[in-house]
């Protein structure tokens, strides 16, 4: 029997979950408050309490969470924000679309923004740092917050890939002035489409974001700042509450798959180093090998889908390539890295097959687990 292992499987095969999702949608169909219905505020309250922040503002996507959060900070055109070169392009676009300049630092061996690469880039126009908690791993928030505090900069956390990740036991998204989450259908906490949220303890920022998420219309119904429509859909909020009820088992299964790979592949491939300060949430599982492209082709021939996240680096994307930056470690690390299937849908047979196939490629037997 041949086994195939998709990177992600977005079907809802669990019948109980399916029923709960359909019931949640049906409730919205019955009450008919389709736009900003009660489920939006209910979901926001549950999300804020789960993350540990005073306010959550539901928006249309993780991209909008970043765009609107940056917009709410009130920076001037041409101001600069320092971020990592290694992220989904939404991070850089969210800065640039607000008329600001993304300034790319470098990453560390952990694939996250390297704090030691930040300070040399700070200029009188720098306003904020955007750390991206890469693939479910928290950045070094001690070091990043210390730099931000020393220079009077805001920290806007990009938590799009990191729901469930912690640093010193605290959820990502609780360190900076705001934390931006994506709940698109591929994320660990996933809607059935597009969704995002901005988390903050600052009531004024939350209020401002509620205006910005609907064309900048303030409480008086007049436009206080130019913006667009980025509201969270009621049906998505309703389904996200169903997903939130199950999130701990999703995180636990991803953790189990990752810890299987850790043990089975130790000594065969590298992984970004871990430490006791951070609990990873395994949005994806990254392996490191200088034979990355060959391995990816070998896996594909054997029915295993893998991904390089994210090629090209943001400063090498055509739309951003005019910005000057040096990021030697990001170039090196990205050339080595490959994400293998590790979602909660990966079953035991599939994860053993993935490990055995990687072992076969290197002429090694995976470690017994």
* 362 contributes a contact to ligand PLP by CB under 6 A: no
Interstrand relation of 154-158 and 166-167 (parallel, antiparallel or unpaired): unpaired
Of 187, 207, 324, 345, the active-site residue reads 187
CA 63/CA 88 separation, integer angstroms: 10
Report whether 244 contacts 189 (CB < 8 A): yes
> Considering the complex, what minimum distance in angstroms separates the CB of residue 211 from ligand PLP?
20
* 61 contributes a contact to ligand PLP by CB under 6 A: yes
> Considering the complex, what minimum distance in angstroms separates the CB of residue 67 from ligand PLP?
9
The DSSP call for residue 233 is B
Piece in contact with ligand PLP (CB under 6 A), picked from 39-47, 83-91, 207-215, 224-232: 83-91
Piece in contact with ligand PLP (CB under 6 A), picked from 48-56, 59-67, 197-205, 344-352: 59-67
* 90 contributes a contact to ligand PLP by CB under 6 A: yes
**Which segments within the chain are labelled E, that is strand?**
55-59, 80-83, 101-104, 126-130, 154-158, 166-167, 170-171, 178-182, 196-200, 278-279, 285-288, 337-340
Residue nearest to ligand PLP (CB): 62
Kindly list the strands in the beta sheet with 101-104, ordered across the sheet, starting from the edge strand earlier in the chain.
55-59, 196-200, 178-182, 154-158, 126-130, 80-83, 101-104
* 184 contributes a contact to ligand PLP by CB under 6 A: yes
Q: Which residue's CB is nearer to ligand PLP, number 39 or number 194?
A: 194
Token pair 């059935």: residue: 192
Tokens read off for 178: 């705001």
Instruction: Return the residue of 68, 118, 132, 211 that touches ligand PLP, per CB under 6 A.
Output: 132
Cβ neighbour number for residue 312 with a 10 Å cutoff: 15
* 88 contributes a contact to ligand PLP by CB under 6 A: yes
Instruction: Return the residue of 83, 98, 161, 227 that touches ligand PLP, per CB under 6 A.
Output: 161
Using alpha carbons, list the distances in angstroms from residue 348 to 262, 268, 285, 291. Answer: 14, 20, 16, 26
Half-sphere exposure of 170 (CA within 13 A, CB side): 13
* Residue 345 annotated among the catalytic residues of the structure: no
Q: Which residue's CB is nearer to ligand PLP, number 194 or number 344?
A: 194
Using alpha carbons, list the distances in angstroms from residue 7 to 16, 88, 246, 277, 350. Answer: 23, 17, 21, 28, 11
* 284 contributes a contact to ligand PLP by CB under 6 A: no
Piece in contact with ligand PLP (CB under 6 A), picked from 18-26, 74-82, 157-165, 243-251: 157-165
Reference 365, options 262, 263, 265, 259; nearest CA is: 265
Report whether 90 contacts 66 (CB < 8 A): yes
* 158 contributes a contact to ligand PLP by CB under 6 A: yes
> Considering the complex, what minimum distance in angstroms separates the CB of residue 235 from ligand PLP?
16
> Considering the complex, what minimum distance in angstroms separates the CB of residue 186 from ligand PLP?
7
* 281 contributes a contact to ligand PLP by CB under 6 A: no
* 279 contributes a contact to ligand PLP by CB under 6 A: no
* 191 contributes a contact to ligand PLP by CB under 6 A: no
Report whether 165 contacts 172 (CB < 8 A): yes
Catalytic residue ranges: 187
Residues that bind ligand PLP (CB under 6 A): 61-63, 87-88, 90-91, 132, 158, 160-161, 182, 184, 194, 196
């Amino acid at each position: 029997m041949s086994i195939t292992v998709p990177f992600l499987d977005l079907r809802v095969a669990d019948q109980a979950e399916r029923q709960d999702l359909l019931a949640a949608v049906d409730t919205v169909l019955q009450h008919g408050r389709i736009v900003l219905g009660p489920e939006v505020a209910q979901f926001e309250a549950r999300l804020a309490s789960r993350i540990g922040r005073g306010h959550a503002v539901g928006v249309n996507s993780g991209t909008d969470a970043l765009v609107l959060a940056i917009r709410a900070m009130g920076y001037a055109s041409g101001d600069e924000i320092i971020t990592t070169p290694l992220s989904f392009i939404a991070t850089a676009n969210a800065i640039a679309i607000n008329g600001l300049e993304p300034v790319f630092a470098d990453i560390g061996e952990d694939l996250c923004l390297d704090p030691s690469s930040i300070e040399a880039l700070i200029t009188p126009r720098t306003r904020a740092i955007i750390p991206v908690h890469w693939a479910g791993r928290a950045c070094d928030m001690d070091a990043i917050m210390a730099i931000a505090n020393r220079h009077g900069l805001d920290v806007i956390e990009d938590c799009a890939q990191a729901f469930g990740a912690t640093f010193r036991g605290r959820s990502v998204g609780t360190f900076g002035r705001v934390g931006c989450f994506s709940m698109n259908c591929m994320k660990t906490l996933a809607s059935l489409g597009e969704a995002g949220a901005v988390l903050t303890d600052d009531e004024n920022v939350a209020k401002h974001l509620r205006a910005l998420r609907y064309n900048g219309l303030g409480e008086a119904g007049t436009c206080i700042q130019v913006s667009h429509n980025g509201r969270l859909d009621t049906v998505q909020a309703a389904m996200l509450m169903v997903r939130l009820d199950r999130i701990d088992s999703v995180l636990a299964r991803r953790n189990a798959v990752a810890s299987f790979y850790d043990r089975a592949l130790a000594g065969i491939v590298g992984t970004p180093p871990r430490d006791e300060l951070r609990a990873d949430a395994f949005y994806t599982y990254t392996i490191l090998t200088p034979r990355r492209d060959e391995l990816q082709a070998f896996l594909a021939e054997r029915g295993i889908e893998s991904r390089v996240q994210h090629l090209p680096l943001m400063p090498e994307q055509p739309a951003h390539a005019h910005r000057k930056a040096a990021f030697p470690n990001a170039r090196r690390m990205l050339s080595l890295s490959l994400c293998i299937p590790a979602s909660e849908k990966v079953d035991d047979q599939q994860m053993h097959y993935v490990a055995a196939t990687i072992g076969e490629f290197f002429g090694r037997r995976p470690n017994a687990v």
